[in-house]
Amino acid sequence: MPDDILAVFADALPGHIENQNRYSPSTAENDPGPLFSTLELRTSRNTISAWPGYQPTPLIRLPGLARYLNVREIRYKDEGARFGLGSFKALGGAYAVYSLLASNPDRSAITVTTATDGNHGLSVAWGAESAGCRCVIFIHEKVSAGRERALKSKGADVIRIDGNYDESVRQCYRAAAANDWIVISDTSKDDSGNEVARVVMAGYSVMVAEIIEQLAGDVPTHVFVQGGVGGLAATVCECFHLAWGEAAPRFVIVEPELAPCLFESCKKGERVATDVVEETVMAGLSCGEVSAIAWPTLCRFTDDFLTIPDFVVAPTMRLLADGPFFDPPIVAGESAVAGLAGLICSSRHASLASALQLDQASRVLVIGTEGATDQALYESMTGLSVRSVQRASI
Ligand SMILES: Cc1ncc(COP(=O)(O)O)c(C=O)c1O
Protein backbone atom coordinates (compact mmCIF):
# COMPACT_ATOMS: atom_id res chain seq x y z
CA MET A 1 0.00 0.00 0.00
CA PRO A 2 2.65 2.65 0.92
CA ASP A 3 4.62 1.65 -2.17
CA ASP A 4 1.60 2.58 -4.30
CA ILE A 5 1.35 5.92 -2.59
CA LEU A 6 4.97 6.77 -3.24
CA ALA A 7 5.17 5.33 -6.77
CA VAL A 8 4.14 8.60 -8.36
CA PHE A 9 7.16 10.37 -6.84
CA ALA A 10 9.56 7.98 -8.52
CA ASP A 11 8.29 9.32 -11.86
CA ALA A 12 9.23 12.88 -10.91
CA LEU A 13 12.94 13.63 -11.05
CA PRO A 14 13.26 17.23 -9.82
CA GLY A 15 15.37 19.73 -11.71
CA HIS A 16 18.39 20.47 -9.52
CA ILE A 17 21.14 23.06 -9.39
CA GLU A 18 23.64 23.46 -6.64
CA ASN A 19 24.32 27.14 -5.95
CA GLN A 20 27.82 28.01 -7.14
CA ASN A 21 27.62 31.56 -5.81
CA ARG A 22 26.99 30.65 -2.24
CA TYR A 23 28.67 32.86 0.33
CA SER A 24 31.67 31.51 2.10
CA PRO A 25 33.87 33.32 4.59
CA SER A 26 36.66 33.40 1.98
CA THR A 27 34.45 35.52 -0.34
CA ALA A 28 33.26 37.79 2.43
CA GLU A 29 33.48 40.83 0.17
CA ASN A 30 30.26 39.61 -1.54
CA ASP A 31 28.38 39.57 1.73
CA PRO A 32 25.24 41.72 1.22
CA GLY A 33 24.86 42.18 4.98
CA PRO A 34 21.90 41.27 7.15
CA LEU A 35 18.30 41.70 6.00
CA PHE A 36 16.99 42.66 9.43
CA SER A 37 18.38 44.32 12.52
CA THR A 38 17.98 42.57 15.86
CA LEU A 39 15.68 45.40 16.90
CA GLU A 40 13.41 44.85 13.88
CA LEU A 41 13.17 41.15 14.63
CA ARG A 42 12.36 41.82 18.27
CA THR A 43 9.78 44.48 17.37
CA SER A 44 7.91 42.28 14.88
CA ARG A 45 7.81 39.44 17.41
CA ASN A 46 6.60 41.65 20.25
CA THR A 47 4.00 43.36 18.06
CA ILE A 48 2.52 40.32 16.35
CA SER A 49 2.50 38.14 19.46
CA ALA A 50 0.37 40.82 21.14
CA TRP A 51 -2.32 40.73 18.42
CA PRO A 52 -5.62 39.13 19.50
CA GLY A 53 -5.75 35.46 18.54
CA TYR A 54 -1.98 35.02 18.28
CA GLN A 55 -0.78 31.48 18.89
CA PRO A 56 2.39 29.77 17.69
CA THR A 57 1.52 27.19 15.04
CA PRO A 58 2.55 23.58 15.68
CA LEU A 59 5.77 21.89 14.58
CA ILE A 60 4.67 18.33 13.90
CA ARG A 61 6.85 15.21 13.76
CA LEU A 62 6.30 12.79 10.87
CA PRO A 63 8.23 9.71 12.08
CA GLY A 64 6.37 7.24 9.87
CA LEU A 65 7.13 9.09 6.65
CA ALA A 66 10.73 9.69 7.82
CA ARG A 67 11.19 5.94 8.29
CA TYR A 68 9.76 5.28 4.89
CA LEU A 69 11.99 7.83 3.18
CA ASN A 70 15.02 6.55 5.08
CA VAL A 71 15.80 9.78 6.87
CA ARG A 72 16.07 10.17 10.63
CA GLU A 73 13.43 12.81 11.17
CA ILE A 74 10.92 15.03 9.39
CA ARG A 75 9.36 18.03 11.11
CA TYR A 76 6.45 19.89 9.52
CA LYS A 77 5.61 23.45 10.56
CA ASP A 78 1.85 23.66 9.99
CA GLU A 79 0.71 27.20 9.19
CA GLY A 80 -2.90 26.20 8.51
CA ALA A 81 -4.27 27.79 11.66
CA ARG A 82 -2.40 31.12 11.47
CA PHE A 83 -4.74 33.85 12.72
CA GLY A 84 -7.69 32.09 11.14
CA LEU A 85 -6.43 33.19 7.68
CA GLY A 86 -4.91 29.83 6.84
CA SER A 87 -1.33 30.69 5.89
CA PHE A 88 1.96 32.18 7.09
CA LYS A 89 1.19 35.17 4.88
CA ALA A 90 -1.11 36.41 7.65
CA LEU A 91 2.07 37.54 9.42
CA GLY A 92 3.48 39.67 6.60
CA GLY A 93 1.02 41.94 4.80
CA ALA A 94 -0.96 42.73 7.93
CA TYR A 95 2.23 43.61 9.80
CA ALA A 96 3.31 45.97 7.02
CA VAL A 97 -0.11 47.70 7.08
CA TYR A 98 0.12 47.95 10.86
CA SER A 99 3.68 49.34 10.75
CA LEU A 100 2.97 51.90 8.05
CA LEU A 101 -0.23 53.19 9.61
CA ALA A 102 0.62 52.93 13.30
CA SER A 103 1.59 56.58 13.54
CA ASN A 104 -1.07 57.93 11.18
CA PRO A 105 -4.07 59.46 12.96
CA ASP A 106 -6.37 59.71 9.90
CA ARG A 107 -6.46 56.17 8.57
CA SER A 108 -9.91 56.50 7.03
CA ALA A 109 -8.35 58.75 4.34
CA ILE A 110 -5.82 56.08 3.36
CA THR A 111 -6.15 53.31 0.78
CA VAL A 112 -3.76 50.39 0.72
CA THR A 113 -3.48 48.08 -2.26
CA THR A 114 -1.66 45.00 -3.49
CA ALA A 115 -1.69 42.31 -6.15
CA THR A 116 -2.18 38.77 -4.95
CA ASP A 117 -2.97 35.19 -5.81
CA GLY A 118 -4.80 34.96 -2.51
CA ASN A 119 -2.87 34.66 0.71
CA HIS A 120 -0.87 37.89 0.75
CA GLY A 121 -3.90 39.95 -0.28
CA LEU A 122 -5.98 38.36 2.46
CA SER A 123 -3.38 39.42 5.00
CA VAL A 124 -3.32 42.99 3.67
CA ALA A 125 -7.15 43.13 3.63
CA TRP A 126 -7.28 41.83 7.20
CA GLY A 127 -4.67 44.37 8.31
CA ALA A 128 -6.57 47.19 6.57
CA GLU A 129 -9.85 46.11 8.14
CA SER A 130 -8.23 46.09 11.59
CA ALA A 131 -6.58 49.48 10.98
CA GLY A 132 -9.78 51.05 9.59
CA CYS A 133 -8.47 52.03 6.15
CA ARG A 134 -9.70 51.19 2.64
CA CYS A 135 -8.18 48.29 0.72
CA VAL A 136 -8.15 47.53 -3.03
CA ILE A 137 -6.86 44.11 -4.10
CA PHE A 138 -5.85 43.12 -7.65
CA ILE A 139 -6.22 39.46 -8.60
CA HIS A 140 -5.40 37.75 -11.88
CA GLU A 141 -7.76 35.76 -14.09
CA LYS A 142 -6.91 32.35 -12.57
CA VAL A 143 -7.44 33.23 -8.89
CA SER A 144 -10.28 31.03 -7.64
CA ALA A 145 -13.76 32.34 -6.82
CA GLY A 146 -13.32 31.04 -3.26
CA ARG A 147 -10.24 33.19 -2.75
CA GLU A 148 -12.02 36.23 -4.23
CA ARG A 149 -14.89 35.72 -1.75
CA ALA A 150 -12.43 35.47 1.15
CA LEU A 151 -10.86 38.81 0.17
CA LYS A 152 -14.26 40.48 -0.03
CA SER A 153 -15.21 39.05 3.36
CA LYS A 154 -12.39 41.16 4.85
CA GLY A 155 -13.93 44.30 3.35
CA ALA A 156 -11.58 44.65 0.35
CA ASP A 157 -12.61 45.99 -3.06
CA VAL A 158 -11.41 43.31 -5.46
CA ILE A 159 -10.38 44.01 -9.08
CA ARG A 160 -9.95 40.97 -11.33
CA ILE A 161 -7.68 41.69 -14.31
CA ASP A 162 -7.06 39.83 -17.59
CA GLY A 163 -3.63 38.19 -17.47
CA ASN A 164 -1.30 36.53 -14.99
CA TYR A 165 0.09 37.47 -11.57
CA ASP A 166 2.84 39.67 -12.99
CA GLU A 167 0.25 41.63 -14.99
CA SER A 168 -1.83 42.11 -11.83
CA VAL A 169 1.26 43.57 -10.13
CA ARG A 170 1.75 46.04 -13.01
CA GLN A 171 -1.90 47.15 -12.91
CA CYS A 172 -1.81 47.53 -9.14
CA TYR A 173 1.20 49.86 -9.32
CA ARG A 174 -0.40 51.89 -12.12
CA ALA A 175 -3.62 52.39 -10.14
CA ALA A 176 -1.69 53.23 -6.97
CA ALA A 177 0.32 55.92 -8.78
CA ALA A 178 -2.83 57.41 -10.32
CA ASN A 179 -4.83 57.43 -7.05
CA ASP A 180 -2.18 58.00 -4.41
CA TRP A 181 -2.73 54.61 -2.80
CA ILE A 182 -0.06 52.86 -0.72
CA VAL A 183 1.21 49.59 -2.24
CA ILE A 184 1.79 46.85 0.33
CA SER A 185 3.80 44.45 -1.77
CA ASP A 186 5.40 41.19 -0.67
CA THR A 187 7.99 41.61 -3.42
CA SER A 188 10.21 44.37 -4.75
CA LYS A 189 11.30 45.05 -8.32
CA ASP A 190 14.13 47.36 -7.30
CA ASP A 191 15.44 49.38 -4.39
CA SER A 192 12.39 51.68 -4.39
CA GLY A 193 10.09 48.86 -3.26
CA ASN A 194 12.50 47.26 -0.85
CA GLU A 195 11.39 48.84 2.38
CA VAL A 196 7.75 47.67 2.38
CA ALA A 197 8.69 44.17 1.17
CA ARG A 198 11.30 44.00 3.93
CA VAL A 199 8.71 44.87 6.60
CA VAL A 200 6.43 42.13 5.20
CA MET A 201 9.33 39.70 5.55
CA ALA A 202 10.02 40.91 9.10
CA GLY A 203 6.45 39.74 9.80
CA TYR A 204 7.30 36.26 8.45
CA SER A 205 10.30 36.15 10.78
CA VAL A 206 7.91 35.55 13.68
CA MET A 207 7.17 32.11 12.25
CA VAL A 208 10.89 31.38 11.99
CA ALA A 209 11.45 32.50 15.59
CA GLU A 210 8.74 30.05 16.66
CA ILE A 211 10.44 27.24 14.73
CA ILE A 212 13.81 27.98 16.35
CA GLU A 213 12.21 27.83 19.80
CA GLN A 214 10.24 24.69 19.00
CA LEU A 215 13.36 22.91 17.78
CA ALA A 216 14.94 23.61 21.18
CA GLY A 217 18.50 23.30 19.89
CA ASP A 218 17.81 20.26 17.71
CA VAL A 219 19.16 21.96 14.56
CA PRO A 220 18.00 20.19 11.36
CA THR A 221 20.47 19.06 8.72
CA HIS A 222 18.19 20.12 5.84
CA VAL A 223 15.40 22.60 5.18
CA PHE A 224 13.18 22.25 2.11
CA VAL A 225 11.14 25.40 1.56
CA GLN A 226 8.96 26.46 -1.36
CA GLY A 227 9.68 29.59 -3.33
CA GLY A 228 7.39 32.07 -5.06
CA VAL A 229 9.11 35.47 -5.20
CA GLY A 230 11.54 34.24 -2.54
CA GLY A 231 10.49 36.44 0.39
CA LEU A 232 9.64 33.51 2.63
CA ALA A 233 12.80 31.56 1.75
CA ALA A 234 15.05 34.59 2.28
CA THR A 235 13.53 35.21 5.71
CA VAL A 236 13.94 31.59 6.76
CA CYS A 237 17.56 31.25 5.68
CA GLU A 238 18.52 34.66 7.05
CA CYS A 239 17.03 33.90 10.47
CA PHE A 240 18.56 30.42 10.58
CA HIS A 241 22.00 31.84 9.83
CA LEU A 242 21.55 34.49 12.49
CA ALA A 243 20.63 31.74 14.97
CA TRP A 244 23.09 29.02 13.98
CA GLY A 245 25.81 30.53 11.75
CA GLU A 246 27.88 27.95 9.90
CA ALA A 247 25.90 25.17 11.65
CA ALA A 248 22.74 26.24 9.78
CA PRO A 249 21.03 23.46 7.80
CA ARG A 250 21.51 22.76 4.10
CA PHE A 251 18.99 25.10 2.52
CA VAL A 252 16.98 23.75 -0.42
CA ILE A 253 14.43 25.86 -2.31
CA VAL A 254 11.67 24.07 -4.23
CA GLU A 255 9.66 25.70 -7.04
CA PRO A 256 7.12 24.56 -9.62
CA GLU A 257 8.60 23.57 -12.99
CA LEU A 258 6.08 26.01 -14.45
CA ALA A 259 7.38 29.00 -12.47
CA PRO A 260 11.11 28.53 -11.84
CA CYS A 261 12.30 32.13 -11.43
CA LEU A 262 14.65 31.37 -8.51
CA PHE A 263 16.06 28.28 -10.20
CA GLU A 264 16.71 30.23 -13.43
CA SER A 265 18.26 33.12 -11.50
CA CYS A 266 20.66 30.71 -9.82
CA LYS A 267 21.54 29.25 -13.21
CA LYS A 268 22.35 32.68 -14.62
CA GLY A 269 24.08 33.88 -11.46
CA GLU A 270 21.82 36.92 -11.33
CA ARG A 271 18.16 37.81 -10.85
CA VAL A 272 16.30 37.07 -14.10
CA ALA A 273 12.61 37.26 -14.99
CA THR A 274 10.85 34.21 -16.44
CA ASP A 275 7.52 34.11 -18.26
CA VAL A 276 4.77 32.14 -16.55
CA VAL A 277 3.16 30.70 -19.67
CA GLU A 278 1.00 28.08 -17.99
CA GLU A 279 -0.35 28.49 -14.45
CA THR A 280 0.88 25.95 -11.92
CA VAL A 281 -1.59 24.41 -9.51
CA MET A 282 0.66 25.82 -6.75
CA ALA A 283 -0.98 29.24 -7.08
CA GLY A 284 1.07 30.94 -4.36
CA LEU A 285 4.28 29.97 -6.13
CA SER A 286 3.26 31.13 -9.59
CA CYS A 287 5.70 34.04 -9.88
CA GLY A 288 7.89 35.10 -12.80
CA GLU A 289 10.19 37.48 -10.94
CA VAL A 290 12.34 37.08 -7.86
CA SER A 291 11.96 39.78 -5.23
CA ALA A 292 14.92 42.20 -5.43
CA ILE A 293 15.20 42.45 -1.66
CA ALA A 294 15.20 38.67 -1.25
CA TRP A 295 17.73 37.74 -3.94
CA PRO A 296 21.06 38.78 -2.36
CA THR A 297 20.23 36.75 0.75
CA LEU A 298 19.07 33.74 -1.27
CA CYS A 299 22.14 33.90 -3.46
CA ARG A 300 24.28 34.02 -0.35
CA PHE A 301 22.71 31.22 1.70
CA THR A 302 20.80 28.80 -0.56
CA ASP A 303 22.57 25.52 -1.20
CA ASP A 304 20.25 23.96 -3.80
CA PHE A 305 17.38 24.89 -6.07
CA LEU A 306 14.85 22.22 -7.13
CA THR A 307 11.88 22.27 -9.49
CA ILE A 308 8.99 19.81 -9.26
CA PRO A 309 6.13 18.97 -11.64
CA ASP A 310 2.52 19.73 -10.78
CA PHE A 311 1.48 16.07 -10.82
CA VAL A 312 3.12 15.38 -7.42
CA VAL A 313 1.14 18.10 -5.62
CA ALA A 314 -2.22 16.37 -5.11
CA PRO A 315 -0.56 13.08 -4.03
CA THR A 316 1.50 14.99 -1.43
CA MET A 317 -1.62 16.70 -0.09
CA ARG A 318 -3.36 13.35 0.04
CA LEU A 319 -0.41 11.68 1.74
CA LEU A 320 -0.47 14.31 4.49
CA ALA A 321 -4.24 13.97 4.85
CA ASP A 322 -4.23 10.16 5.01
CA GLY A 323 -1.18 9.76 7.24
CA PRO A 324 -0.57 6.31 5.70
CA PHE A 325 2.54 5.75 7.84
CA PHE A 326 0.64 6.40 11.09
CA ASP A 327 1.61 10.06 11.19
CA PRO A 328 -1.03 12.59 12.29
CA PRO A 329 -3.34 13.65 9.42
CA ILE A 330 -2.63 17.20 8.22
CA VAL A 331 -4.68 19.53 6.01
CA ALA A 332 -2.23 21.17 3.59
CA GLY A 333 -3.05 23.42 0.65
CA GLU A 334 -1.55 23.13 -2.81
CA SER A 335 1.17 25.76 -2.22
CA ALA A 336 2.08 24.30 1.17
CA VAL A 337 3.50 21.00 0.05
CA ALA A 338 6.18 21.84 -2.52
CA GLY A 339 8.99 21.54 0.03
CA LEU A 340 7.79 18.16 1.24
CA ALA A 341 7.12 16.99 -2.33
CA GLY A 342 10.68 18.05 -3.23
CA LEU A 343 12.02 15.99 -0.33
CA ILE A 344 9.99 12.90 -1.27
CA CYS A 345 10.94 13.12 -4.96
CA SER A 346 14.62 13.59 -4.06
CA SER A 347 14.58 10.60 -1.73
CA ARG A 348 13.21 8.40 -4.55
CA HIS A 349 16.21 9.18 -6.80
CA ALA A 350 19.48 7.90 -5.40
CA SER A 351 21.76 10.26 -7.33
CA LEU A 352 19.81 13.33 -6.24
CA ALA A 353 19.53 12.12 -2.66
CA SER A 354 23.27 11.66 -2.63
CA ALA A 355 23.89 15.11 -4.19
CA LEU A 356 21.76 16.62 -1.42
CA GLN A 357 23.50 14.47 1.21
CA LEU A 358 20.16 13.01 2.27
CA ASP A 359 20.67 9.84 4.28
CA GLN A 360 19.62 7.98 7.42
CA ALA A 361 21.18 10.67 9.60
CA SER A 362 19.21 13.53 7.98
CA ARG A 363 16.85 15.58 10.11
CA VAL A 364 14.64 17.53 7.74
CA LEU A 365 12.45 20.55 8.32
CA VAL A 366 9.66 21.44 5.89
CA ILE A 367 7.28 24.35 6.16
CA GLY A 368 3.61 23.68 5.43
CA THR A 369 2.86 27.26 4.51
CA GLU A 370 -0.92 26.99 4.18
CA GLY A 371 -3.93 24.91 5.12
CA ALA A 372 -6.97 24.55 2.87
CA THR A 373 -7.15 28.24 1.93
CA ASP A 374 -9.56 27.27 -0.85
CA GLN A 375 -11.71 24.44 0.49
CA ALA A 376 -13.42 23.60 -2.79
CA LEU A 377 -10.06 23.28 -4.52
CA TYR A 378 -8.69 21.20 -1.62
CA GLU A 379 -11.60 18.81 -1.84
CA SER A 380 -11.37 18.50 -5.62
CA MET A 381 -7.61 17.81 -5.44
CA THR A 382 -7.65 15.29 -2.58
CA GLY A 383 -11.13 13.80 -2.88
CA LEU A 384 -11.47 14.43 0.86
CA SER A 385 -13.47 16.93 2.85
CA VAL A 386 -11.47 19.29 5.03
CA ARG A 387 -13.74 18.39 7.96
CA SER A 388 -13.06 14.67 7.68
CA VAL A 389 -9.29 15.21 7.75
CA GLN A 390 -9.59 17.60 10.68
CA ARG A 391 -11.77 15.12 12.56
CA ALA A 392 -9.26 12.33 11.96
CA SER A 393 -6.45 14.48 13.33
CA ILE A 394 -8.11 15.01 16.72
C1 LIG B 1 1.07 29.24 0.81
C2 LIG B 1 2.28 29.91 0.24
N3 LIG B 1 3.46 29.31 0.37
C4 LIG B 1 4.58 29.87 -0.11
C5 LIG B 1 4.54 31.09 -0.77
C6 LIG B 1 5.81 31.64 -1.33
O7 LIG B 1 6.26 32.80 -0.67
P8 LIG B 1 7.19 33.82 -1.43
O9 LIG B 1 6.39 34.39 -2.57
O10 LIG B 1 7.56 34.83 -0.42
O11 LIG B 1 8.35 33.05 -1.95
C12 LIG B 1 3.32 31.74 -0.94
C13 LIG B 1 3.23 33.03 -1.63
O14 LIG B 1 2.19 33.58 -1.83
C15 LIG B 1 2.16 31.15 -0.41
O16 LIG B 1 0.95 31.73 -0.52
Q: What is the mean pLDDT of the chain?
A: 94
Helix (H) or strand (E) holding 308: strand 304-308
**Residue 29, pLDDT score:** 60
Residue 251 has pLDDT above 90, yes or no: yes
Write the pLDDT tens digit of every residue in 299-317.
999 999 999 999 999 999 9
Cα–ligand 1 centroid distance for 318 (angstroms): 20
Q: Strands 15-18, 59-61: parallel, antiparallel or unpaired by DSSP?
A: unpaired
The band of 22, judged by pLDDT with boundaries at 50, 70 and 90, is confident
Q: CB of 232 closer than 6 A to ligand 1?
A: yes
Write the pLDDT tens digit of every residue in 146-174.
999 999 999 999 999 999 888 898 999 99
Residues 371 and 33: beta-carbon distance below 8 Å = no
Q: CB of 286 closer than 6 A to ligand 1?
A: no
Cα–Cα nearest to 122, from 103, 141, 135, 105 = 135
Cα–ligand 1 centroid distance for 289 (angstroms): 13
What mean pLDDT comes out for the span 338-354? Answer: 98
**Residue 165, pLDDT score:** 86
Cα–ligand 1 centroid distance for 191 (angstroms): 21
Q: Whose CA is nearest to atom 14 of ligand 1?
A: 284
Cα–ligand 1 centroid distance for 284 (angstroms): 5
pTM for the whole thing?
0.96
Give me the catalytic one of 89, 166, 186, 303.
Answer: 89
Give me the catalytic one of 117, 166, 186, 304.
Answer: 117
Query: What is the CB-side half-sphere exposure of residue 174 using CA atoms within 13 A?
Result: 8
The band of 33, judged by pLDDT with boundaries at 50, 70 and 90, is confident
Q: CB of 370 closer than 6 A to ligand 1?
A: yes
Query: What is the CB-side half-sphere exposure of residue 287 using CA atoms within 13 A?
Result: 28
Cα–Cα nearest to 331, from 394, 392, 386, 283 = 386
Residue 3 has pLDDT above 90, yes or no: no
